[in-house]
Structure 1
Amino acid sequence: MSTASTPPAPQVPAPPPVPALPPAPPVPEAAREVHEGVIWNEADLLEFATGSVAKVFGPEFAEIDGFRARVRLPAPPYHFVTRVTALDAEPGVLRPARITTEYDVPEDAWYAVDGGVPPAVTVESGQCDLLLVSYLGIDFRNKGERVYRLLDSSLVFRGGLPTTGQTLRYEISIDRFVHQGETTLFFFSYDCYADGELILELRDACAGFFSKQELDTPLGIVLTDQDRARRAALPKGTFKPLAYARKDHLDRDDLELLAQGRPGDVFGPEHAQDPGINPALRLPDARLRMVDEVTVDRKGGPCELGLLTAVKHLEPDAWYFTCHFPDDPVLAGSLIAEGAIQLLQIYLMHQGMHLTLPDARFQTVPGRRIDVQVRGQVTPKDTEIRYEVEVTELTLLPRPTVIADVLIYLGDKPVVRMQNLGLQIVEKPGTPYRPETGGVPRFLGRRNRAGEAAMINELHLAHSAKGLLDMAMGPEFEIYRTSRAPYIPNGDFQFVDRVMSLTGTRGDLSPGSEMVTEYDSPEDAWYYRENSSPSMPNCVYMESSLQAAIFLGYYLGATLREPQEEYSIRNLDGRATLVKDIDLRGKTVRHHSRLLMTSVVSGAVLQNFSYELSADGEVFYTGESLFGYFAPAALANQVGLDSGSYRPTWIESEKPAPERVRRIELGPDSPAFRDPSGGGLHLPGGRFDLVDRVDLVADGGRHGAGYLHGHRSIRPDEWYFDCHFHRDPVMPGSLGVEAVLQALRLFVLDQDLARGMTRPRFAMATDVEMSWKYRGQILRDDRELFFDVHVKEVRKEADRLLLIADADLWKPGLRIYELTDVAVEVRPDAG
């Protein structure tokens, strides 16, 4: 067959030729010996696969040896059974029966990857349903005119994949037979044990025996209306790669590099790891490789989490046909599934998931039911099969994991379907995978874009947001496995990726400890796309700095002194300044946080931090903030900013004349979202659609320079509640600030303040220190929030328009936020 159409780059070695696999290795004399407890030994089983059934089952089966085709085991190199140790069956009688087999995985197994057994071999080693159904006499019924084909099965992995040197035991049962005319179906199951540990269950398996005519007219996979409705109902998701791949189309040369453990040479240097790191995270060599060309669309598929398409070119005389089966060549379903597994391996590396651990393996996902349907056969007359893999889940929790639905095509007809196929990356036993006692781990395999070793990485920060806190911070935090504890924000509202360094000691909460963390800001982040300009919005500046600062105190052990308390974390006060507005798309934001104070009071722990944010060595944002860890009783008795009394809004207390007040309804279709002059100014949307309506008084407010009263109805299913925080949902204070900023932008649009400016755009205001006080939070069951904005300065300078205001925000009955010098800026677009 021809190679991929894209020629290899000069520096890439051509892949080695696929080694020829021997049809059958010589059977050692020991294998020919019959030992106590062994019904059929290795020699018997090879004889059954490639020779005479009568020599194995006895002369009463001699007739079958004369048939054109009969049930066989696969021949080497796809023969994976060493002995049969138990049999409960009546020869020649098609009734329920049981068999127990064993397979000794060779230490030098040709298919192994760094000593690991791939899923294809793990599944295929349970191949003795074939031996059992033959012993029950199916070929006496088929007369050589019908051959075995698997139709359906469901698999659940219960443990890790086997390794070389282990013995796999399969307890196989045929549960029933169904006869439909001359066609016989049988239903079977098995349990697989590796050195006595249950690792795999196969259930609801159905196979049958079909004529050539029936096999030549396959139905293919029929997608029903229910299938299409299920696919359409899959939720959309997002996932930020740990490293962005420079290549999305892979040819045979690229796949060979991945088999050599060189993802950095394929996807780019950010995907590379130190020599010796992760020797098992590679594709199998060319003998077992079941894909030749791969295309990746990381935002494709119904869930927008990834779509992979791939082709395997088939050779009619290749080993995978000649061994399966000797008189009935057909591509094994387990090998087809292996191609899908290899695509998931590729996708995990494409997304940079391998970077999170120093010595790990690809493993199946335990406890998930994988449903497989086969409605067509792949034979030597077929020149290729095509894969379509739709990713349905992509997560770092509890380990880097991908779940997908898979269709395999012959031509335009889907013939195999796998649903809920999963793969994860898991550390080998004994490998360091989390911080040690005291919080300082050994090197865990992750380097940043500049090549610096990370202390902990995206995997650990994901656990600090929605997983096991001891995985994030070390064994001292195992006490929180059975109680609620604070988490940092998660998902689309998590803005810390890695901890690079810590200067401080766990348990020492005195001033001076410092932490350096990083956040990679994607070029295509939702907050750029949905903002009123393609720049980082205020809430991300605030959240990124605050999340990094609070993580320092939490990591040092702010809550460990009273582990019985189920603390919640809240920001109380802060001040911050954008000292320079730079384009952060695609850049790494570096946080430098410093602990200034810790105070322990009844039911609370208070900590103050300073911080600065930089990119490419340039500081662009600085601030200081006070946080509190509060016990439930302290949170339940909040009194807001006014000691529990209600302070009315300006519009309530001043009661301006109705003709001075103009109500503006907001929403994606509102004219207020667009620049009245036809320029580039507009309000943010999507997740920044935080205000339902605004009452505007152009000459109102405390300073007579403008007033806006905003209102927002609160729904329990607002997107941010699930992100902030896990098990403690509360609206982020930074989004309350965003609502105020939206009102200020609306004031600019309504008053046409940017008239005369060339290509104006909204921006973060530089060199204006904003300060805030929070004394309460918006919860799921709060019906609404409302706020006042008092414009106090409209400053027109040569290169910008600056609006500065003070603001207050209420929940029903309480004023809970106070903002001073909150500001927006309009400047000419230099782009």
Structure 2
Amino acid sequence: MRLPAPPYHFATRVTALDARPGVLEPARITTEYDVPEDAWYAVDGGVPPAVTVEAGQCDLLLVSFLGIDFRNKGDRVYRLLDSSLIFHGGLPRTGQTLRYDISIDRFVHQGDTTVFFFSYLCYADGELILELKDGCAGFFSQAELDTPLGIVMTDAERARRAALHRATFKPLARARKDRLDAADLELLAQGRPGDVFGPDHAQDPGLNPALRLPDSMLRMIDEVTVDRTGGPRGLGKISAVKHLEPDAWYFTCHFPDDPVLAGSLIAEGAVQLLQVYLLHQGMHLTLPDARFQTVTDRRIDVKVRGQVTPRNSEIRYELEITELTLLPRPTVVADVLVYLGDRPVVRMENLGLQIVEKPGTPYRPETGGVPAFLGRRNRSGEPAMINELHLAHAAQGLLDMAMGPEFEIYRESRAPYIPNGDFQFVDRVMSLTGTRGDLNPGSEMVTEYDSPDDAWYYQENSSPYMPNFVYMESSLQAAIFLGYYLGATLSRPEEQYRIRNLDGRATLIRDIDLRDKTIRHHSKLLSTSIVSGAVLQNFSYELSADGEVFYTGESLFGYFSDAALANQVGLDSGTYREPWIVTERPAAERVRRIELPDDAPAFTDPSGGALRLPAGRFHLVDRVDLVEDGGRHGAGYLHGYRSIRPDEWYFDRHFHRDPVMPGSLGVEAVLQAMRLFVLDQNLADGMERPRFAMATGVEMAWKYRGQILRDDDELFFDVHIKEVRREADRLLVIADADLWKTGLRIYELTDVAIEVRPESD
């Protein structure tokens, strides 16, 4: 029984020992390791997880002291079977002393085979940073080692994997390369992600010197393949290979006369793959001086059911990403399988890694809201004022992280948030012209949103173009952030406000293909009014891409107390205004009901054309009653209905701690009914390769005086077609619409419009 030899020997001294030599019984040992200032494995002064774990290696010394060699008589070798790791603090730094309080808790003997169970606590300069629990190792003959079973997945593990739900994550920068070779990994070790993944991944010289792979001696991966949307959650899958050399240092030092690849080094390869993935996703762009850090207070379960020896030419990693988030810091969590050939021999569950700012590094806006440069530039090279990390907190995290220390007052109370997840359509704040606390007209903010070409709203829309609600939400979210950032609610910290859109009008100037484009918002505060229980703010905004303005509008928002929202009376002063189909009672033969169940295929052009209704998360209407000559204008009428479920997808995204159906999705439901009218009436007959589009040059106006909540049972709406206009290059349909919740009319839309136009090449 031997300790590893240098350079993988990490024990400096034994400071305590509670054990009886020659007796295999519970015992304790305390050891220390002085991390050299010039440690060969360090990255920017940081100690990697492999060394942090491996420096607790003196369970081997303890079991040797207890006399295991007298039982094994040289015929058996040590192998790790199981362990669970929990990191409680930051990874160590060079110059620190690591202390390990190691316990052997019990022994089990089965014939000549001995298995023991152990644990340890690791302290860095007296601070607990790591706990190893439920460690299990044994001593095995060559015959036993030659017949490994490999990792066998249990029913519980299969059930856990099957229960994983698919999710999405938008990379902060889209990588241009998904297959990495040894040269690419060397560039990442030099801190040059822009040379590997593309210029959007590059940062200014001198930023983030610690966010790199270790040098080649410790590197445990040689070839890497990334599937960004693979795995059971759709958050990513990583495959990698490490080519092994039989006389390499990692065999000759571990162990003398018994070469086997250390489990901590195998785990280090998985950690390095998570480092690669964080860089691949552009997570490093959010901070100017950060380091990789294992996720704390999360149990990592490790099983080893095979040995890697000099007879093996390579090991293969398969990682499935189970979590990917910016909160509270850029984080990735994965399940890992390590293969010898086709046999899995190592499994790690819940292995997590973060990017965390170094102590003293700027990481959020300062007082007043305008920070020093935080490391993020946009595609054009302009410095961002605050970035995706801060906007993620503005959507679902600490508001002071997003906007500065003045917002710490909201850490213990509810406050407004912008929408989150895949319903968040603002990524960065580029500039602010204004002063926090000054709510007078004239303040301006420039923000950006990157619209990926594979976004769900392109894939699930009726054509691969941006739908109306994204135009609305992106512009409204940008405008509302300006007012909130200026401090619209800061003067009344005792109030727990909710935010609501009240009125607006917007015009699409030009319908352009925005896939893989950056949308730039320019928002301007027009007015602020403070009244009892509410703060009202009006904004103008324009959206542009590649310097061209394509969408303009103006909108009124309100921050309301609970008491103010409790007294809503809708659009009709509390009276109930009935839908047209109820008041007019058209003859039954004039009314045709069209059912649109969840499990039905999207409604398509009955003439066999390319027009169709959107599906997936766009399914917002259960049925429509259609009267082709009905409505206020006699040009067509649709009465739509949707039952509301408390688990509707949008409630969790809009807003955090204040779930409400977005008004823009109510508008989207109306637009779907209008598309259905076009299909049903075959209005696009004769148009070559028609597609649905947003209507250009028509100003839509809206009023909201209520909201759909989780406990509402239904919504229904009226659409009154008032014009069907055929022009040389388009079919234009314009309508007015109203939307109700039970007992209350809450939305009014004027000149809501759609187009059908020929698809361009």
Cross-structure match for 2:586: 656
Corresponding residue number in structure 1 for 2:614: 684
Contact 2:602 2:615 in 1 (8 A): no
Contact 2:595/2:624 (<8 A) preserved: yes
Aligned to 1:827: 757
2:452 maps to: 522
Alignment correspondent of 2:193: 263
DSSP-derived class of the 2:571 partner: coil
Quick check: 2:602–2:614 contact (8 Å CA) kept in 1?
A: no
Question: C-alpha displacement at 1:671, in angstroms?
Answer: 7.6
Partner of 1:481: 411
For the pair 1:556 / 2:486, whether they are aligned, the reply is yes
- Quick one: which of 584, 595, 614 aligns to 1:665? 595
In the alignment, which of 303, 311, 317 is matched to residue 387 of structure 1?
Answer: 317
In structure 2, what is the Cα distance between the partners aligned to 1:671 and 1:568? 37
Structure 1 residues 395-440: Cα deviation after superposition (integer angstroms, max 9, x where no partner): 0000000000000000100000000000000000000000000000
Match of 2:340 among 410, 435, 458: 410
> Using a 3 Å threshold, how does the CA distance of structure 1 residues 392 and 671 change in structure 2: closer, same or farther?
closer
Question: Which one of the candidate residues 361, 365, 368 is aligned to 2:298?
Answer: 368
User: What letter corresponds to residue 483 of structure 1 in structure 2?
Assistant: S
- Secondary structure, counterpart of 2:31 in structure 1: strand
1:273 aligned to 2:188? no
TM-score by length of 1: 0.91
Matched, 1:338 2:268: yes
Matched position secondary structure for 1:701: coil
Distance 1:103 1:504 in 2: 54
CA contact under 8 A between 2:598 and 2:622: conserved in structure 1?
no
Structure 1 residues 611-658: Cα deviation after superposition (integer angstroms, max 9, x where no partner): 000000000000000000000101111110011111000001111111
Paired position in structure 2 for 1:463: 393
Deviation at 1:224, TM superposition (A): 2.5
Aligned to 2:671: 741
Q: Is the 8 A contact 1:664 1:694 kept in 2?
A: yes
Question: C-alpha separation between the residues in 2 aligned to 1:701 and 1:794?
Answer: 14
Alignment partner, residue 770 of structure 1: 700
Which residue pairs with 2:530 in the alignment?
A: 600
Q: Which residue in 2 is equivalent to 1:817?
A: 747
1:219, 1:660 → 2: CA distance? Answer: 71
Q: Residue 34 of structure 2 aligns with which residue?
A: 104
Q: Structure 2 length as normaliser, TM-score?
A: 1.00
Q: Distance in 1 between matches of 2:154 and 2:397?
A: 37
Q: Runs of 4 or more off by more than 4 Å in structure 1?
A: 668-672
Q: 1:342 to 1:671 in 2, by over 3 A?
A: closer
Quote the residue 1:214 is aligned against.
144
Which string of whole-angstrom CA distances, capped at 9 and with x for unpartnered residues, describes residues 233-281 of structure 1? 1111100000000000000000000000000000000000000000000
Task: Tell me what 2:285 maps to.
Answer: 355
- State the secondary structure of the residue aligned to 2:457: helix
Measured after TM superposition, the shift of residue 226 of structure 1 is 2.8
Confirm or deny: 8 A CA contact 1:672 1:749 kept in the other structure. Answer: no
How much has 1:457 moved relative to structure 2? 0.3
* Amino acid across the alignment from 1:786: F
**Structure 1 contact 672–750 (Cα < 8 Å) conserved:** no
Cα distance in 2 for partners of 1:755, 1:196 equals: 78
**1:421-820 matches, cutoff 5 A:** 421-667=351-597, 673-820=603-750
* Letter of the structure 2 residue corresponding to residue 566 of structure 1: Q
Give the aligned residue type for 2:34: D
* Secondary structure of 2:572's aligned partner: coil
Q: Give CA-to-partner distance per residue, 1:64-120, whole Å, 9 cap, x none.
A: xxxxxxx11100000001111011111111111111111000000000000000000
2:84 maps to 1:151: no
Cα shift readout 1:683-727 (whole Å, capped 9, x = no counterpart)? 011000000000000000000000000000000000000000000
In structure 2, do the counterparts of structure 1 residues 401 and 669 end up closer, same or farther at CA, with 3 Å as the change threshold?
closer
SS at match of 1:399: coil
| Structure 2 unmatched ranges of 5 or more | none
Q: 1:187 is matched with which residue?
A: 117
**Contact 1:672/1:746 (CA < 8 Å) preserved in 2?**
no
Please name the residue that 1:295 is paired with.
225
1:96 partner letter: P
The answer on whether the counterparts of 2:228 and 2:237 sit within 8 Å (CA) in structure 1 is: yes
Q: Verify the 8 A CA contact 1:84 1:101 in the aligned structure 2.
A: yes
Any idea what the Cα deviations from partners look like across 1:37-87, whole Å, max 9, x if unmatched? xxxxxxxxxxxxxxxxxxxxxxxxxxxxxxxxxx11100000001111011
Number of equivalenced pairs:
761
Q: Say which SS state the counterpart of residue 719 (structure 1) adopts.
A: coil
Of 61, 83, 93, 1:163 maps to 93
d(CA) in 2 for partners of 1:809, 1:102: 70
Q: Give the match's secondary structure for 1:386.
A: strand
Which one-letter code corresponds to 1:408 in the other structure? V
Change (3 A) 1:598 1:521: same
Distance in 2, Cα, partners of 1:226 & 1:469: 39
Q: Which amino acid aligns with 1:730?
A: V
Structure 1 equivalent of residue 128 of structure 2: 198
Distance 1:162-1:669 versus aligned 2 partners, 3 A rule: closer
Q: Is the 8 A contact 2:519 2:544 kept in 1?
A: yes
Q: Which amino acid aligns with 2:21?
A: P
In the alignment, the residues of structure 2 paired with residue 549 and residue 365 of structure 1 have an alpha-carbon distance, to the nearest angstrom, of: 35
**SS state at 1:379 partner:** coil
Worse-matched range after superposition: 218-227 or 809-818: 218-227
The Cα of 1:134 is off from its aligned counterpart by: 0.5
Task: Report SS of the residue matched to 2:499.
Answer: strand
CA gap of 1:409–1:670, structure 2 versus 1, over 3 A, is closer
Deviation at 1:230, TM superposition (A): 1.8
Q: Is the 8 A contact 2:223 2:242 kept in 1?
A: yes
Per the TM alignment, residue 229 of structure 1 is displaced from its structure 2 partner at its CA by 2.4
Letter in 2 for 1:102: E
Distance (whole Å) between structure 1 residues aligned to residue 527 and residue 617 of structure 2: 35
SS in structure 2 opposite 1:435? Answer: coil
Secondary structure at the counterpart of residue 559 of structure 2: strand
Q: CA deviation at 1:672?
A: 7.2
Aligned AA (1:586): D
Identity %: 85
Q: Matched residue of 1:728: which SS? A: coil
Distance 1:209 1:225 in 2: 28
Q: Give the 5 Å matches for 1:3-22.
A: none
Rounded to whole Å, the distance in 2 between the matches of 1:495 and 1:503 is 21
Give the deviation of 1:225 after TM superposition.
3.1
Question: What is the aligned partner in structure 2 of residue 42 from structure 1?
Answer: none
CA distance in 2, matches of 1:137, 1:824: 83
